[in-house]
Every structure is written in structure tokens, then in C-alpha cells.
Amino acid sequence: MKKLIVFDLDGTIAESKSQLDNEMSALLRDLLSIVNVAVISGGNWPQFEKQLVSNLPRDANLENLSLLPTCGTKFYKFGSAWEELYSENFTNEEKAKIIGSLHEAIGSLGFNTEMVWGKPIEDRGSQITFSALGQEAPLDEKKKWDPDFSKRKQIKALFDKSIPEFSVRLGGTTSVDVTKQGIDKAYGIRKLRDILGVAISEMIFVGDALFPGGNDYPAIEAGVVSIQVREPDETKRVIEAIIACLDSKRGPVSRRDE
């Protein structure tokens, strides 16, 4: 019986940079009532608050929820409020090197775009993220820019040579995430194991980027049973199946337990 269900955020439980819809919110509440849940994503904490936390039902069991922003380089748990347990931040020198390499890679590949919505490069403290069309780009535009990941794979290939001491992963629809070497979703999975006391064999991971180079792929490398989804609607069906499976294994509730 699985004890922890781990999700990616963008493209998995919500559209890119979008809020949970009502159906997903209700399903997560139901899931949180019977099992521990974690969300690991490339987004920073403010994005988690906007997309996820503020859209959960008031009666959701937040004590069963763990949040790991910036690909697991940060960890938040709920007590009387949300508390940051750790943050693997870059030094100023590391940030400068990564951002400089980003500008060089984008320029050499000719991926500069005339129209952007917000900053293309975001310093998230423990992660530097490049979003080709800017952080606030419309979803329709983002989906058209690199649907087969080919552009970002070229950026990653240059990064792997120019900054091999860092971890580079593809995330979202237009993003490339850079973290410290070894600090990725596999690191987050191991932190969940250590902090929650849940074995990796007792976890399930659900994500939309479970391909080599994708920012969900480290979950597979960590040994977690993983489920590939294409969009949030598919994730909803996965959650329904998990709830049905867990409920069947718990068996009937006695009057004393009600």
C-alpha cells in the first residue's frame, strides 16, 4: 500500500502558471484525507501559493501535504503556518556564471524572441530558470514555441558543456531549470523519504516530463514508481484510480472508526 503520492505542478495538476481548477482542487482534498501528498515543481514558493495553496478547499488536510519548490531545492511543511525546512541557495558567484552562460547559449542559438511577457531569466535563489517567452507568457504562445523540446535540448547540450558543475533540466513548456549538481527532484524524493520516514518503494510519482532530460526524470532515477501524464485532465483520472485503490485496500469503515 503506497503511503505518499508525489506530483509535478505545471502540466500535471495545473496548466502552466495557472491555478488549480475546481475539479482538481476537490480531488486533491479527497486524496489528502487518506494519504500523504507532495508536490515538487520548478516554480518558486510564490508560484506554489498562487497556483496551489490558495486554491485548495478550506477543509483540506494540509498537515498531509509537503511542498518542494524549485525542483526540490526547497521544502515546506504546514504546522500552524507554512514553514521552510531548507533551501539550497546559490552563491552570488554561481548565479553570475549561470546567467552569463544562459545569455551566451541563447544568443549563439538565435533563440532571442521579439515578444516576451515578463523576465526571461528568473533568479529563484536555489534555482535559475530561463523561460523563452518570459515568466508571464500566455499558455497558447508557450505551447507553440517548443512543442517537441528540440530548442531546449539544444540549450541543455550547450549548458552541459559550459557549466557541467550544475544540473540542467527541461521543465514546463518553455523553461530550462538550473540547480546545484545533484539537487533535483531525486534529491527532493530522498528528502521526502528522510523527513517523512516513507520508503521510496512506498511512493508514486506523477508527472508530465518523465523523459531523459526532463525535470521529472530524476524521480525515475531515484527509483520511484512513476506515472507519465500528458495534461491535468489525465492526472485527474490517475488520482481517481489511486483513491479507489487506497479505499479498497483500507477496507470498510467500522462504526467505531466513523
CATH number of the domain to which 133 belongs: 3.30.1240.20
Same domain, 151 and 32: no
Task: Report the percentage of the chain scoring pLDDT > 90.
Answer: 79
- Give the burial string for 168-203 (b: 16+ CB within 10 Å, else e): bbbbbbbbbbbbbeebbbbbbbebbbeebebebebb
Q: Which residue has the higher pLDDT, 256 or 13?
A: 13
Half-sphere exposure of 102 (CA within 13 A, CB side): 22
Query: In this structure, how many other beta carbons lie within 10 angstroms of the beta carbon of residue 244?
Result: 10
Same domain, 101 and 162: yes
- Give the burial string for 61-91 (b: 16+ CB within 10 Å, else e): bbebbbbbbbbbbbbbbbeeeeeeeeebbbe
d(CA 148, CA 156): 14
Same domain, 171 and 238: no
Task: Specify the pTM.
Answer: 0.84
Range of 111-125, 174-188, 191-205 with top mean pLDDT: 191-205
Same domain, 48 and 126: no
Per-residue pLDDT band at 172 (split at 50, 70, 90): confident
Residues with Cβ within 8 Å of 75's Cβ and at least 6 positions away in sequence, in order, are: 66, 67, 68, 84, 85, 86, 188, 191, 195
The average pLDDT across 152-174 equals: 91
Residue 108 domain boundaries = 92-180
Check if the beta carbon of residue 120 is closer than 8 Å to that of residue 131: yes
Same domain, 216 and 227: yes
Same domain, 47 and 80: yes
Same domain, 193 and 76: yes
Check if the beta carbon of residue 71 is closer than 8 Å to that of residue 184: yes
Give the end of a domain, one of 180, 212, 238.
180
What CATH number should be reported for the domain holding residue 76? 3.40.50.1000
The 8-class DSSP code of residue 117 comes to S
Same domain, 118 and 146: yes
pLDDT per position as a tens digit, 244-256: 999 887 665 433 3
Q: What is the pLDDT of residue 252?
A: 53
What total number of domains does the chain contain? 2
pLDDT per position as a tens digit, 23-80: 999 999 999 999 999 999 988 999 999 999 999 999 999 999 999 999 899 999 999 9
Same domain, 82 and 99: no
Among 110, 121, 105, which residue's Cα sits nearest to residue 177? Answer: 121
d(CA 209, CA 188): 16
d(CA 154, CA 156): 5
Give the end of a domain, one of 163, 180, 197.
180
Give the end of a domain, one of 180, 198, 233.
180
Inter-helix orientation angle 232-250/22-32, to 10°: 30
Same domain, 189 and 70: yes
Same domain, 8 and 63: yes
Same domain, 231 and 243: yes
